[in-house]
Amino acid sequence: DPVLILDDISHSYHRGLPTQVDVLRGASLEMGPGELIALVAPSGAGKSTLLHVAGLLDRQDSGSVSIKGQDTWNLSDDKRTGIRRDTVGFVYQFHHLLPEFSAVENVVLPQLANAVPERDAIDYARQLLDTVGLGHRYDHRPAELSGGEQQRVAFCRALANRPAILLADEPTGNLDPTTSDQVFDALLTLVRETGLSALIATHNAELAARMDRTVKLEEGVLVSV
Ligand code: ADP
Ligand code: ADP
């Protein structure tokens, strides 16, 4: 069964705008378990909007978002927040790590917030950091890490509570091409090893080609390419 179904999603912005902007106009997508999908689109086409709707950060105007078989439309904001916390991991272009905490601590803290015992949280944080090649950086703070390393820690943090779905918005968009390739490899390894399903927005055709399939956001709908 699909872990994520977007069915005929529409979303517009109007607040404070002279004319309404119809960003999504009937976007549909089914993502299977363990599937890795590249999302490509020109800047401004609505990738972030789509990822926010898919991850229950925004409500669509119409259409449905089902996560692990549950339609989320009629749920309260609290319920939606609960599903998001238990099921969805987000990664952005910028790492948003907490500067005063070490790499391990940044991956441990979300687990403690989810009532995982500290010992288990630390073990799992180290395991994730090992997977992305940061076994020697556990105790470094973000400022002591390179840009690529910071982003790899952010991936681990996004996966700390074992989400079923990863939504990533240009996760290597801030890095130089060589670093970007390495960091992307780390992300793919992490996704494959944890059995996650992932929808990853990227401008980079070579990176997109390394995923299972690619969908393009065009005129507000998703088309397979
Ligand atoms: P992308 O991530 O593909 O660059 P976005 O989803 O961020 O695209 O934005 C799509 C369009 O919607 C853009 O034209 C943007 O200006 C507009 N937009 C995004 N967020 C808002 C908002 N909160 N209010 C008004 N317009 C917005
Ligand atoms: P990059 O080549 O990616 O820009 P840097 O030159 O910034 O990386 O850093 C090289 C290595 O040194 C990185 O692996 C990083 O973890 C480590 N490093 C950088 N700054 C510090 C610091 N202040 N304390 C400890 N280690 C650091």
Tens of pLDDT, residues 176-215: 988 999 999 999 999 999 999 999 999 888 889 999 999 9
Atom of ligand 1 nearest to the CA of 17: 25
pLDDT at 150 over 80: yes
Task: Give the number of other CB atoms < 10 A from CB of residue 132.
Answer: 24
Task: Write down the mean pLDDT value for the chain.
Answer: 95
Beta bridge partners of 152: none
pTM: 0.88
The average pLDDT across 97-122 equals 97
In the block, which residue shows the tokens 């272009």?
93
Candidates 83, 93, 123, 84; CA nearest to 107 is 123
How far is residue 19 from each of residues 12, 16, 22, 44, 114, measured CA to CA in Å?
A: 10, 9, 10, 16, 42
pLDDT at 23 over 90: yes
Atom of ligand 1 nearest to the CA of 50: 6
SS3 128: helix
Residue 205 has a pLDDT of: 87
How many Å apart are CA 99 and CA 174, to the nearest integer? 18
Ligand 1 pocket, Cβ-based, cut-off 6 angstroms:
13, 17, 21, 23, 41, 43-49
Ligand number nearest to the C-alpha of 52? 1
pLDDT at 24 over 90: yes
How many Å apart are CA 187 and CA 182, to the nearest integer? 9
Of the pLDDT bands very low, low, confident and very high (cuts 50, 70, 90), residue 35 is very high
